[in-house]
C-alpha cells in the first residue's frame, strides 16, 4: 500500500535520510562536496532543520509512504496569499523512475490550491538539465537565475500557475 500523507514529527529522521540521499546523487553528479557547497541540501539538511520548519515555521510537509517506509518527501513554504514555494521534493534514488516524483508534484499542486495559492515557485540547481526539463515538462516556466557566492552552481528559479 502507498499513500501521500502529512509528515509527523516522528518521521523527521526518515525524511532527513530521504532528502540527503536524493540530493546526494545530484551533488555526486555535479561535483558538489561538503567543502565546496556546505549549504547544499544534501549536506545542510538535518533533524534540527526539519524540526524547526515543522514546529516553528509550521510548514506543510508531506511524505510518500509505501509499505510502511517513507520513500518520498516535499514541503511547502507559504510566501504570501497567492504564492507557495515547493521545497526539497525528493525520492530515494532506488525508488526513482516509478512516477513517485510526479505523484508528489501533483499532490503539491492540489494542496497549494487548497491553501489558496495561484502559483507554485521552486528553486533548482540551474546546471541540473534533467531536473530543469522535468519541471518544464510539468508546466513550470523558468523565470531567472542567480549565482550566489556561497554555492558552486547557479540557482535557477521556476514557477507554475495552479
Q: What is the 3-state secondary structure (H, E, C) of the chain?
A: CEEEEECCHHHHHHHHHHHHHHHHHHHHHHCCCCCCCCCCHHHHCCHHHHHHHHHHCCCCEEEEEECCEEEEEEEEEECCCCEEEEEEEEECHHHCCCCHHHHHHHHHHHHHHHCCCCEEEEEEECCCHHHHHHHHHCCCEEEEEEECCCCCCEEEEEEEEC
How far apart CA 21 and CA 43 sit, in angstroms, is 10
If you count them, how many residues does the chain have?
Answer: 162
Looking at domain 2-118, its CATH superfamily turns out to be: Gcn5-related N-acetyltransferase (GNAT) (3.40.630.30)
Domains in the chain: boundaries = 2-118
pLDDT score of 150: 80
What does the pLDDT look like over 38-94, one tens digit per residue?
A: 889 999 999 999 999 999 999 999 999 999 999 999 999 999 889 999 999 999 999
pLDDT band for position 162 (cuts 50, 70, 90): very high
How far apart CA 107 and CA 65 sit, in angstroms, is 13
**What does the block give as the cell for 98?**
516509478
Per the prediction, the chain carries an average pLDDT of: 95
- Is residue 149 predicted with pLDDT exceeding 90? no
The torsion angles phi and psi of 2, rounded to 5 degrees, stand at -135, 150
pLDDT band for position 152 (cuts 50, 70, 90): confident
- Is residue 110 predicted with pLDDT exceeding 90? yes
First to last CA, the chain: 28
Amino acid at each position: 500500500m502507498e499513500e501521500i500523507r502529512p509528515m509527523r514529527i516522528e518521521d523527521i529522521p526518515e525524511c532527513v535520510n530521504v532528502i540527503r540521499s536524493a540530493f546526494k546523487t545530484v551533488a555526486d553528479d555535479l561535483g558538489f562536496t561538503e567543502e565546496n557547497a556546505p549549504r547544499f541540501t544534501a549536506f545542510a539538511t538535518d533533524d534540527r532543520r526539519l524540526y524547526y520548519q515543522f514546529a516553528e515555521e509550521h510548514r506543510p510537509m508531506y511524505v510518500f509512504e509505501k509499505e510502511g517506509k517513507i520513500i518520498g518527501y516535499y514541503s511547502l513554504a507559504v510566501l504570501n496569499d497567492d504564492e507557495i514555494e515547493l521545497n526539497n521534493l525528493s525520492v530515494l534514488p532506488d525508488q526513482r523512475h516509478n512516477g513517485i516524483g510526479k505523484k508528489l508534484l501533483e499532490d503539491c499542486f492540489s494542496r497549494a490550491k487548497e491553501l489558496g495559492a495561484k502559483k507554485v515557485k521552486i528553486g533548482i540547481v540551474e546546471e541540473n538539465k534533467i531536473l530543469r526539463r522535468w519541471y518544464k515538462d510539468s508546466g513550470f516556466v523558468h523565470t531567472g537565475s542567480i549565482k550566489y557566492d556561497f554555492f558552486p552552481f547557479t540557482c535557477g528559479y521556476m514557477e507554475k500557475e495552479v
